Amino acid sequence: LAKTTQPISMDSYEGQEVNITCSHNNIATNDYITWYQQFPSQGPRFIIQGYKTKVTNEVASLFIPADRKSSTLSLPRVSLSDTAVYYCLVGEEDSNYQLIWGAGTKLIIKP
Amino acid sequence: GAGVSQTPSNKVTEKGKYVELRCDPISGHTALYWYRQSLGQGPEFLIYFQGTGAADDSGLPNDRFFAVRPEGSVSTLKIQRTERGDSAVYLCASSLVGGRALDTQYFGPGTRLTVL
């Protein structure tokens, strides 16, 4: 069965770059790795996804090594508004539809 | 366009009562997911619909929980004989196709259920 591991929490300061790593093994070979952000009292929302190597969008970058056993979400120059919980989501190996959520990393940005 | 909506936003009930939670997905989204989230925890998968049928209901904790999606759009999560341990935020998400992490899930704001 696929399994994901993320740090429970992280602290950083405004303007810094933050990297959050999710370890995941036995994930679906034909599926992407997706990251979500959740603020208090809201549902999670999509940030970024990728299959391999590096993906960048307007809010984050995602680094995925060739073996796909981990992925690293990179938030450049964080601000207080980036304080949230971040989840990785992967597909289960040998399953057509089962998805596995990470337990989430609570990121606190300090002024 | 409109996002995923859930009603009610808050529900307080007494132990042993029956509750229904409603989810209106984004129009045209085939897939619909129900999750439960306790304070400080990640989303706990409950059930996944493809169209009208439940493709995976392995996350439903017991037979007190049931969900339907009769016309492939709106879904209702039904909880019988509620227990205090059922208290949580119930999240609904929809996606265009479903079944893969590739397919972005759009979440509603959730229903906060409190069982007294």
Q: What is the pLDDT of residues A30-41, one digit of tens each?
A: 889 999 999 998
Is the distance from CB of A14 to CB of A109 less than 8 angstroms? yes
Q: B5-97, superfamily in CATH? A: Immunoglobulins (2.60.40.10)
CATH class of segment(s) A3-110 = mainly beta
Residue B1 has a pLDDT of: 57
Chain A nearest-CA distance from B42, in A, is 5
Residue A96 has a pLDDT of: 65
* B25 reaches A (C-beta below 8 A): no
Handedness of CA B14, B20, B24, B25 (dihedral sign): positive
Chain B nearest-CA distance from A100, in A, is 9
Domain extents in chain B: 5-97
Question: Is the Cβ pair A101, B102 closer than 8 Å?
Answer: no
Q: What is the pLDDT of residues A7-32, one digit of tens each?
A: 999 999 999 999 999 999 888 888 89
Q: Give the Å distances, CA to CA, from A79 to A40, A62, A106, A108, B59.
A: 17, 18, 15, 10, 36
Q: What is the pLDDT of residues B35-83, one digit of tens each?
A: 999 988 889 999 999 999 999 999 999 999 999 999 999 999 999 999 9
